[in-house]
Structure 1
Amino acid sequence: MTVLVGWILALGMVVVVPLGLRLIDDDRQRLGPVGQVWPFAGLLGGLSLLLDRGDAFAVALACCYAAVAAWLAMLALLRLLRRRSLAPVEVAVLTAMVSPAIAASSLIAERGGRELLGFGMTTQLLTVAHFHYAGFAAALVAGLTASRAPSPSSSVAALTVPGGVALVFLGYFTGDGVELAGAVVLTAGMWLLGWIVWREVAPSAGGRLTRALFGVSAAVLAATMLLALSWAAGHVWDAVPHLSLTWMAATHGLTNALGFALCGLLAWRRLQRAPNGRQGAAGVT
């Protein structure tokens, strides 16, 4: 694992998830304790990446992170049972809440140096990244967007982003063709999401910095998701050029982590804290 990939994963665990948790509505006051504990659990998960693969202490640290992620997944189940809704906003938010647990299970296996369900170490690292940024951050942003700017288009984005995430994951089990189909669905959802944020959400944000953060978050998707498409297509057809894993981490991974996820969630947090911010189904309307 490269140092850059480790930093990207640590950013997701330590910063992106706890920042996103603050944006989810909490009608029963159950997310507060998870949000308070998460930065410490994320730090333990990040520290596990600094140790050698196969180190027992690295596995123990990853298990601590997984325990808190499982707690969040349980709260997702309780939310589903309580609300009994599979509206697009809810599908997106529930996907975000469950995704870190999937990432954490892969992190435990990778830190232990063991194949999980036949997946090698590289695939397990991709799973950790995929479910922190596409599974959590992108799905949450899709839910927030559908809540603030309700329309058929935003509802489609709130469904296709989780659907694409699931298809890409299913492709790990079934083959590159399914993974490519997932990349197509996810890219379409992300591009649609970026367009809605650019055209509807950003202009309505009050502060200049907030609008700029929304703009950056939306704009970077045009390039980063094209790289994801070329990566998936290149594993189906040899003639399609695609970057190496190292360069994918340095371009697609880093830009999505900083440009899309971090800037986007910071923008939503600023919008939430604005004097005229209003709480809604996913956190902000």
Structure 2
Amino acid sequence: MSVLVGTVVTIGMFWVVPTGLALLDGPRPPGWDPLRRAWPLFAAPGALALRLPRSGLSTALAAVYALATLALALQAPARLLLTRSLVPGEVAVLTALVAPSVAGLALVAERASYPLFGFDLDILALTVPHFHFAGFAAALVAGLLCRVCDGPTGRFAALSVPAGTLLVLLGYFVDDWAELLGAVVLTAGMTAVAVLTLRERRALAADRLTRGLLALSALVLFVTMLLALSWALGEATGLPHLDLTWTAATHGLGNALGFAVCALLAHRRLGSDHPQAAHLSTPPVPTNPTRPTAHPRTELPA
């Protein structure tokens, strides 16, 4: 795996995933807290596997990390059983919990030099960062925004980012036109994320650094998603476009560092000032409108 891709994936393993998990609120299934606390212990062998040549040792180290991502994916149905909710914000967070397992599986196959489902090793190598950042980070940020801005744009972002990610994955198995459809849906969702960030989230930021991080994360998306759309369109139609290496170096690196890292840093900073707005939690249970509101008992003067 190239040094650039390996470095980006290492950031995703060690920082993006645990930082994103710390922003989640709501019900915690059994095993959630131990898994989150132990995550760096699983990320370490995964990161080491990236630095070693493809071999049995690097495959075994990658498998350790893949098991952690599988355990995280199992938290999704456990959370769903507790929340019994498929509102758009929850759809986004469930997607975020499952996405790293796709990356973990691709990493094991790539380290083992095994063309999983017929994909060459370069595609498998790029699948690893894609599902850490487009799969996990983007879905999580879309869910955070939907929780705070629960309007049509927020709900569209929370549903279209997971849908676009899934369609891009399915496009790998179908053809370039199916992958283009996924890129269109994902680009629309990420554009909604950028618009919401500029329109709503900056208003919550009290300091200049947080506002700057939010603005940068949004503005980067307008450029990087056009690059992704250009690549998918070129693959489907034969029009001139950047090759896969340059697309990874521009779109991929921009999305990873310019969007995901900046957005998560901003949301973490917002947590200290607006803890309820910066964390993703399940919607509060509504009170019964027909039940009279109880008032404190007062004593009448004698």
C-alpha displacement at 1:280, in angstroms?
A: 7.6
C-alpha displacement at 1:205, in angstroms?
A: 1.5
2: CA distance, partners of 1:208 / 1:197: 15
2: CA distance, partners of 1:139 / 1:269: 16
Question: Which residue of the partner structure matches residue 287 of structure 2?
Answer: none
2: CA distance, partners of 1:271 / 1:32: 22
Runs of 4+ residues deviating >2 angstroms: 26-32
Q: Aligned ranges for residues 92-241 of structure 1 at < 5 Å? A: 92-239=92-239, 241=240
Question: Which residue of the partner structure matches residue 27 of structure 2?
Answer: 27
RMSD: 1.7
Question: Which residue of the partner structure matches residue 270 of structure 1?
Answer: 269
Q: In structure 2, what residue type is equivalent to 1:23?
A: L
Question: Which residue of the partner structure matches residue 256 of structure 2?
Answer: 257
- Which consecutive unaligned segments of at least 5 residues does structure 2 have? 284-302
1: CA distance, partners of 2:191 / 2:36: 29
C-alpha displacement at 1:79, in angstroms?
A: 0.5
Larger Rg: 2
Question: Which residue of the partner structure matches residue 13 of structure 2?
Answer: 13
* C-alpha distance after superposition, 1:144-180 (max 9, x if no partner): 0000111111000100000000000000000110000
Question: Which residue of the partner structure matches residue 77 of structure 2?
Answer: 77
Query: Does the Cα contact within 8 Å between 2:27 and 2:79 map onto a contact in 1?
Result: no
C-alpha displacement at 1:63, in angstroms?
A: 0.7
Question: Which residue of the partner structure matches residue 291 of structure 2?
Answer: none
TM-score (norm. length: structure 2)? 0.89
C-alpha displacement at 1:73, in angstroms?
A: 0.8
Q: Secondary structure at the match of 1:278?
A: helix
The number of residue pairs the alignment matches comes to 282
2: CA distance, partners of 1:78 / 1:281: 19
Query: Does the Cα contact within 8 Å between 1:92 and 1:142 map onto a contact in 2?
Result: yes
2: CA distance, partners of 1:104 / 1:22: 20
C-alpha displacement at 1:246, in angstroms?
A: 2.1
Q: In structure 2, what residue type is equivalent to 1:49?
A: L
Question: Which residue of the partner structure matches residue 44 of structure 1?
Answer: 45
2: CA distance, partners of 1:266 / 1:259: 11
C-alpha displacement at 1:284, in angstroms?
A: 10
Query: Does the Cα contact within 8 Å between 1:14 and 1:40 map onto a contact in 2?
Result: no
Q: In structure 2, what residue type is equivalent to 1:14?
A: F
